[in-house]
Amino acid sequence: MLSAAVTTYLAVRRAAGFALRNPGFQLKSFAAFAEARGHGFVRAAVAIEWAGFAHSLLQRARRLGTVIRFARYLHAEDPRHEVPPAIFGTEQARRPTPYILTAAEIQRLITAASQSMSRAICGATYSTLFALLACTGLRVSEAIRLRLDDITPDGLVIHRTKFRKSRLVPVHETARAGLERYLHLRRAYAPFNDHVFVSVVRKPLQVKDVDRAFRIAARLAGLLDGPRRPTPHALRHAFATRALQACPDGRDAITRHMLALSTYLGHSTVAHTYWYLEAVPDLMRDIAEQTERFATGGRS
């Protein structure tokens, strides 16, 4: 009974646009676990027991949260299904403080990428990719999925990405010129592949390829010497921070700027964009200084 209910629930949610890949596997596992114990309805104790097999507290919270949402759906039509309490706490992990690359560090990274690879196409590929990430704020997954047809006169077309949304990302003329220089080399190297960025074996890049190339370039650029180490995602963080620092004064202007940036970055909610304000010390200092000037009537 529970297995059939899981199938119906997943079909309804997926028809509404939710992928539910991992939750789908989890709910099927939970249904099998409950039915093996003779339960045809969701029982809070059974759900908690099943979720408790996860290794970490966060994983337990997420597993139980998946069952809670499923149980609410079933309970709305049949009160015999119990909705478990969220005894393992929040499902949201605390986001780590972002590593913000300076303009000088980004330049060193790009230069190192162009010089550190044994093949010219690799150096061109990764230096262009890192530069594009830094000046557009794209996610790595979005950049490596770009096709040649996605480069349009209006910008880059990003298709159905992390939150199943598509968007247009305008690019500066200098970024476009750099991309065209790379494509001139890349088209001759892999004429039968329509991905923008290709590997040395003429295949689309994988995330693991980008991570490896980034580590090599970062080491040569001297970015791995401190206690905190950047990842390719740091290029996106750096773009978002620069964009926020360029925000004009005025409440209405700030609201428009934040909404535009949230859309540009492909955030599912503007709250994810506001996170940078509390996560980056420089931005928090700017906010504190603005607040102090407001409170003192502009007197220093």
For the chain, the domains span 2-75, 103-227, 237-295
Active-site residue (options: 108, 139, 186, 237): 139
Over residues 247-294, the pLDDT tens digits come to 766 556 666 767 777 777 777 666 666 666 665 666 656 655 655 565
Active-site residue (options: 39, 233, 242, 257): 233
Residues in the chain: 300
Strand partners, 293: none
Active-site residue (options: 145, 236, 237, 264): 236
**233 labelled catalytic:** yes
β-strands 155-158, 151-152 pairing? antiparallel
Q: What is the pTM of this model?
A: 0.67
The confidence band for 240, taking pLDDT boundaries of 50, 70 and 90, is confident
Over residues 55-98, the pLDDT tens digits come to 999 999 999 999 999 999 999 999 999 999 999 998 876 666 77
Active-site residue (options: 80, 159, 162, 172): 162
The torsion angles phi and psi of 151, rounded to 5 degrees, stand at -90, 110
Could you tell me if 70 and 81 are in contact, meaning their C-beta atoms sit under 8 angstroms apart?
no
**172 labelled catalytic:** no
**267 labelled catalytic:** yes
Q: Six-digit token pair at 115?
A: 């010089």
Could you tell me if 113 and 123 are in contact, meaning their C-beta atoms sit under 8 angstroms apart?
yes
Which residues lie below 8 Å from residue 243, measured CB to CB, with a gap of 6+?
A: 137, 261, 264
**212 labelled catalytic:** no
Name the residue among 76, 79, 81 with its Cα closest to residue 30. Answer: 81
**159 labelled catalytic:** no
The pLDDT of residue 270: 63
Burial class (CB in 10 A: 0-12, 13-18, 19+), 11: exposed
* Rounded Cα distance, 213 and 199, in Å: 11
Share of the chain above pLDDT 70, in %: 82
The pLDDT of residue 248: 66
Q: Six-digit token pair at 258?
A: 């934040």
SS3 content of the chain, % helix, strand, coil (to 5): 60, 5, 35
What CA–CA distances, in Å, run from 63 to 11, 12, 23? 19, 20, 8
Residue 232 scores a pLDDT above 90: yes
15: region left, alpha or beta (phi > 0 left; psi from -120 to 50 alpha): alpha
Could you tell me if 291 and 251 are in contact, meaning their C-beta atoms sit under 8 angstroms apart?
no
Q: Six-digit token pair at 145?
A: 């999925």
**162 labelled catalytic:** yes
CATH of 103-227, one of 3.40.50.300, 3.10.20.30, 1.10.443.10, 3.20.20.70: 1.10.443.10
